[in-house]
Structures are given as C-alpha cells and as structure tokens.
Structure 1
Amino acid sequence: MSNQSPWILPAGIDEVLPLQACRIERVRTRMLETFDRWGYELVVPPMVEFIDTLLVGTGEDLDLETLKVTDGLSGRQLGVRADMTPQVARMDAHSLPSVDERRLCYIGTVIRAKTDGLGGSRAPMQVGAELFGSDGPEADVEVISLMTEALAVGGCEAITLDLGHVGVFRALVRAAGLDGGREDQLRDALTRKAIPEIRQTLVDWSLDAALAEAIEALCDLHGPWQATIDQAKQRLNGLLDAEGQAALERLATVAEAIEARVAGEVLVDLSELHGYHYQTGLVYAAYSPRMGREIARGGRYDDIGRVFGRSRPALGFSLDLRDLLGQSDDEAPARQVVYAPARLNDMALDRAVGELREQGYRVITTKSIPEGAPRLAAVGDGQTQTWQLTGELDHG
C-alpha cells in the first residue's frame, strides 16, 4: 500500500486559494475589458472534443501534449484541450459567419499531459487573442501591441520582446534540400542552440559548406533588432530565396514599428523556432525579468484553417494568466468586514445586512463574532427593535 498522502495533487497540477483566486479574477476582468476595447470578441471553446477533430492540423507536438480519455457514451477517444488556438481557428472557419476579418479572444484552463520541465503548470489558465483574415505587417504589429498591453494590465510592464521569423530557416532548408525528418531534427537543435551538435550533424549530412555555415550562423543571429537583421543580410547573402529575403524584410518592418510603440527592448532571434509545426511566419515571445522563461508567446499560423476548409491568414498570442500573479505587487483594497448574528426570520436584520452589502461592506453572518469586531447590534426591543452598525471601523 502506498504511503503517499491521499490529498496530494498530480505533478504540475495545483489549486487556487482565495487570495490568488481574487487576484486572478481582477486581472481576468481587466484583460477581457482590454480585448473588448480592441474589438476582440470572447468565445468559449469546449474543454473536450473527439481526438480526431481536436488535433487535426496541429502536428505531432500538440498530440504529445494532449491528455486522452474514452467517451463513455460513444466509445470514441476524447482529448482534453491542451491549447485553444486550433479550436478558435475551427470556430472561425465553421461556427461563425464568413467575414473578411475576425478578432476573437478566449480564457480558460487547458490541461497538458506532461510538464514542460521549466516549472510551468500542466493546467495553465490560458488567455489569448486571435486575428483572422489579415496578412499585412499591420496585423502583426496590432497583435504584438495587444499582447504587450494585456501584459501591462496584468501588472507586467517591464518586458523584453523577442521576434523571429520561421521563413528564414525554411528558406535555408529549401536551399539545402532537406526532407521533413532532417528539418525537424535541425530545428530542434537550433531551438536549443546546440552548436556542436548542429555542426556535427551538418558534417554528417555532407551539406554544402556555405549553407552549413549559414545554418549554424542562425544561432549567433540574436540581439538588438537593427544590428541583428543587418548581420543576417550580410551572413546569409545569396543563400536566401525570395521568400527568405521577404521574411527578413517583414521582420525588420515589424520590429521597427513595435519599437516605436512599446517601452521594452525589442530583440531579434533567428533561431527562435519554438512552437507547434503550424507556425508559418513571424513568431514572438515576451520575457519578464521576474521569470526565467517567456511569459507570453505567439505567431502566425496561416495554414491552420486549410484543414477546416477555410485557409486564410491568422495570427495570435497566448499566455498563462497565473504567471502574471508574481509580476505585480498591486493588491485590491480590502473591503471593510462587518459581522452580523446568524438568525432566522428576522426581516429587520436581513434588511440591515442587505443595505450594508449594497454600500460595499463585506457582511458575514455567523454565531461566532470576533470580540471587538464591527458588527450589527440590536437596538431597542419588540416592535421598535432596529439593527445598527457598531464597533471600530477601519476606513484606511
């Protein structure tokens, strides 16, 4: 028999206690109000779906993250959502009327089948926004700007933005003629900036020396956006096709516009290839000095709608609302607590309690009133009895 406590929670799963829950609700409210002011409409995707629809078009990475169960009604396999982005893309394609552009936002708990190894929760409260139907750099700038504003209203104002573009890496992959398996292997090594591993792999593949040098250079091409893009144009000169060159230009355009709009530092990292396989263009992440990992992440995923029968431009971002709890010392002012005796069939007492609550007091009805605490006390007797607030009130 196990000696483990029956009350222990699974790894990466935690509970939210009153103080945290109150702070989460305040941030959630402010964030949804921000989305609404920007024109993003709230949707609520289902917690579970049939696995073959939940994972369609999202690639192997999300499959490994998804917790799977068997539906007792249909006998089919269900998946608990691990990321709401694909669900929102399906809602845009199938559940809502066709429009040229659509802005959607969402908030809810997702469940991951495994931990990320970096201290992240397996049950993040995912908040995100998605913009469908716009393929210009203006859309990239809008979504990144919204991401930074959402972080700011959550208390995270000091951030560093890290921008990348998967099109640069893919242009080098095309030039090298790598198949999908080798592309994934190389992408994983670049994400980890494992330079010795990358160098040996490229030697083993007998890759052209110039291309091998350019691919390895992606690990070094990170830093302030202007200098990094200038270096990339020099070091990758002649090796990028038209799409790869356009990716660099798009990155420069967006970085310049973002730098003018946000207070934080704007960096470029051309080995920034994290994320699921459906990302197709610009990728971005926000970092806070109070965390050792990104606090928000997003990018373009223009191809995801194709599997739903409606391929069109799409981009967005998401974050874990609970990550914001440690980013601000802001606390809501505590309500003044007043106690009232717990009594049945006393309409005068009920009216007095209701009036205080309407005035903003927190009124607790109990048989155990702390000594000296502000309370409702009976004044008079019989037909003339009323209830009045007594005791020392803290108005600070």
Structure 2
Amino acid sequence: MQKILHTPEGVRDIYSTECEQKLILQEKLHNVIRSFGYHDIETPTFEYFDVFGRDIGTIPSRELFKFFDREGETLVLRPDFTPSIARAAAKYFLNEDMAVRLTYLGNTFINNSSYQGRLKETTQIGGELIGDDSADADAESIALTVQLLLASGLKDFQISIGHVGFFHALAAEAGLDEGLTAQLQELIANKNTFGVQKLLSDKEIPPAQKKAFSSFTGLFGTQEILAKARELTENAQALSALDRLQEIWDILCMYGVSKYVSFDLGMLSSYMYYTGITFRGYTFGTGDAVIKGGRYDRLLHCFGKDAPAVGFVAVVDELLSALSRQKITQEISCSHCMLLYEKDQLSEAVTKASSLRSQGIEVELVRITEDRTREKCRNYAKNCTLVVEL
C-alpha cells in the first residue's frame, strides 16, 4: 500500500497553487503564440516507433518508452513533438503551398537515466512554421520565443543562436567520417576544447582546419562572433551559414529584441534532423534550456512532403522552476469564494452560488457541521479572496 502512494521515478504530481500557476502560465504562452497567427493542433500521446526511429534523427531508441499493441506493432510515447507535427502536417497539408503555422501543448516522455536527475515526463508548448525557408521565418520564431519569456514574467534571459550548417560544412571539407563527426560534435557541444584537440591530434587534417574546430568552443557571444568565425574559413557553405545568421540578426533588430540574443556556433544539438539555425533560451534558476528550437528542412520529406520548416518549444516545467527560483509568480485570479451555510439553508445557498457563478466568481459550497465549524472554515479560507456566510 505504501508503494502505490508514490509516483514512479522521474514523474511527479502537481497540485494546489503550483498546478494553478502552471495552468495560468500555459494560457499566457498559448495566447502569445496564437497572436502570431498559429493554429492549434493535437497529436496522439503515442505513435508508431518509426515516427521517432533512427532515420528521423530524434533521441536514441534506448530512451524511448516502448510497448506493443494488440497487433504486435511497436508503439512509443512521444519523446519529442516535432516529428509528430511533421507527420500530421505531411498528411493533412500535403498539397498546401502557403506557410502553415501550428501550435501544440502536451506532455513528452523520455526514459532518462536516473542519474541525470531530469523528469521523464515534461509539459511542452511550441509552434512549427512549415513551408517557409526564409530568414524572416527564422527570425519570427526567435522573436516569438522572446515574447514568450517576457510574457512569463522573466526579465533576465538570453536566446543563443547557432547554425549546424557551419560545423557540417567544415566537417565535410575536412573529410571526416560519420563516426568521427559525431564524436567531434559531442565534444564541441560540451565545450571540451582539450578533447577536440586530442581527438584530432593524429588525424591527417590541415592545421588551419584543426584550429577552426578547436576554436568552436570559444565562438559564442555578441554579433562580433560572426566576424571572428569568418576568419577561420573560406568554405562557401560555412560562410553562407554565417550570412544567414547575420541576416537573422538584422531582422531581430527590427523586432527590437536583439538585446536578448547572442550567438553560439558551438551549440550543436543531438537531434540530427536540424539543418540550419538552432536556438536555445536560458535564464537563472535552471540548468537546462527553457526554450529550444531550430530549422529542419528535410524532416517532412520522411513523411512524404517536401517542405522547409522551423519551430520551437518551451519546456513549461523548466520555465516554471526558473520562475519559482527567481520569485516570479503568475497572478492568480481573485474570483474565488467559499460560501458557508447551515443545513436548513441549502436552497438559499444554491441560489446564491448560482448568482455568483453567473458573475464569473468561482464558488465552493461548504456546509457547517459540528466538526467543520465556521471558525475552522474561516481559517481554511484564508487563501480565498472572499468568504460569504449565510
């Protein structure tokens, strides 16, 4: 009996004020996304394994929650919304030529190692802009994430932007194989300069290219970083990625959000479906990003639709945790009351409660008893903005 009172490792109950704070935050974020013209979509909590398989480039199979249906098909709880939205968009908007903006809210499930200390179930809200390959779309997605964080109440945060094309262009030029590229990418993502140098020390790569890879871990900061990166290569594709970042920066200046933006060319995601920019939002009070996103121009092709796309997700649980540590709370509606009544006052109490509810006031009826005295109810109702007594 004692065991079933607890939740499994990696998941938790959310209740009382925290739950109310979370719901208010979600509504705020949803309203901001909708204000940019995004339309709501819901996809299933579980899908076929192939939607998140190795070819898609999402998380490793060992971190998926897998099970079987009656027909023996392998199903998984979604670990990531983007492949699900890509599948749905390819199915329902196959012949659509206009850009499609979709927003979603729900939970994702990743079977993390218990040593990582992360939740295995998290709530995410995000948006995908499908059918637009422009820098305008990239900048809009980033500007939208800035507005999301401002709407949550945050004041101190930063959106870091990278571009996977810069790294992959240099890796291709150096002739690195898939395995070496993956190792190098992980070391750069972890800002392990010594590891990068050691890995490449005995490789037959020109010194200039080794220097470029070793410099990745220091390629973060303000706009000036783009000029520093240009000095490392003459590769046309790599320079094109930098041009794209410069164009995005210029547009973000038009949005008036550039002060919240920095660059990090060593920010390389483990999600292999990203093809262009990637970005993450960081703030105080949490060790992980509260916003994640990027461009994935080839993902929809896996589901039968050739369309570029860029998207983002806000990790509600991480954001709520950061807000709590920064002593930022969501304003809770002051429209709740407790209506106290005696046994012979039920009819009057029901009528009064109906009248108050019609005015938008939340009413809980509480009958006075020998054990539930008026005094006890008044003390319990301290958090209620209103106590009505008959």
Instruction: Specify the TM-score bucket, using the shorter chain as the normaliser.
Output: 0.7 to 0.9
Output the CA distance in 2 between the equivalents of 1:273 and 1:55: 20
Structure 2: stretches of 5+ with no match in the other structure: 379-386
Give yes or no for contact 1:131–1:316 (8 Å, CA) kept in 2: yes
Identity fraction in percent: 26
The one-character-per-residue Cα deviations of 1:218-277 (angstroms, maximum 9, x if unpaired) are 11211112x11111111x132x2x221110111111123324521644221111102400
Q: Aligned residue for 1:269?
A: 264
Inter-CA distance 53–344: structure 2 relative to 1 (3 Å threshold): farther
Output the CA distance in 2 between the equivalents of 1:343 and 1:50: 56
Give yes or no for contact 1:287–1:296 (8 Å, CA) kept in 2: yes
How much does 1:106 deviate? 0.4
Q: How does 1:54-93 map to 2 (within 5 A)?
A: 54-55=52-53, 57-59=55-57, 61-71=59-69, 73-93=70-90
Indicate the RMSD between aligned Cα atoms, in angstroms.
2.5
How much does 1:30 deviate? 1.8
Match of 1:168 among 150, 163, 166: 166
Q: Aligned residue for 2:248?
A: 254
How much does 1:343 deviate? 5.3
Inter-CA distance 52–277: structure 2 relative to 1 (3 Å threshold): same
Q: Aligned residue for 1:363?
A: 364
Inter-CA distance 252–343: structure 2 relative to 1 (3 Å threshold): same
Q: Aligned residue for 1:320?
A: 315
Rg larger in structure: 1
Q: Secondary structure at the match of 2:311?
A: strand
Output the CA distance in 1 between the equivalents of 2:301 and 2:282: 32
How much does 1:389 deviate? 4.9
Q: Secondary structure at the match of 2:278?
A: strand
Q: Aligned residue for 2:215?
A: 217
Inter-CA distance 344–202: structure 2 relative to 1 (3 Å threshold): farther
Give yes or no for contact 1:12–1:115 (8 Å, CA) kept in 2: no
The one-character-per-residue Cα deviations of 1:37-70 (angstroms, maximum 9, x if unpaired) are 2110111110011212343742263434321112
Output the CA distance in 1 between the equivalents of 2:41 and 2:365: 35
Q: Secondary structure at the match of 1:287?
A: strand
Bigger shift: residues 52-61 or 214-223: 52-61
Inter-CA distance 151–136: structure 2 relative to 1 (3 Å threshold): same
Q: How does 1:190-339 map to 2 (within 5 A)?
A: 190-225=188-223, 227-234=224-231, 236-238=232-234, 240=235, 242-260=236-254, 261-262=256-257, 264-325=259-320, 326-327=322-323, 328-339=328-339
Output the CA distance in 2 between the equivalents of 1:158 and 1:115: 31
How much does 1:141 deviate? 0.7
Output the CA distance in 1 between the equivalents of 2:149 and 2:117: 20
Q: Which has the higher helix share?
A: 2
Give yes or no for contact 1:62–1:276 (8 Å, CA) kept in 2: no
Match of 1:36 among 34, 37, 47: 34
- The alignment of Structure 1 onto Structure 2 pairs a total of residues equal to 371
Inter-CA distance 342–182: structure 2 relative to 1 (3 Å threshold): farther
Give yes or no for contact 2:51–2:84 (8 Å, CA) kept in 1: no
Output the CA distance in 2 between the equivalents of 1:16 and 1:136: 40
The one-character-per-residue Cα deviations of 1:99-147 (angstroms, maximum 9, x if unpaired) are 2210000000111111596643211101110000111110001111111
Q: Secondary structure at the match of 1:319?
A: strand
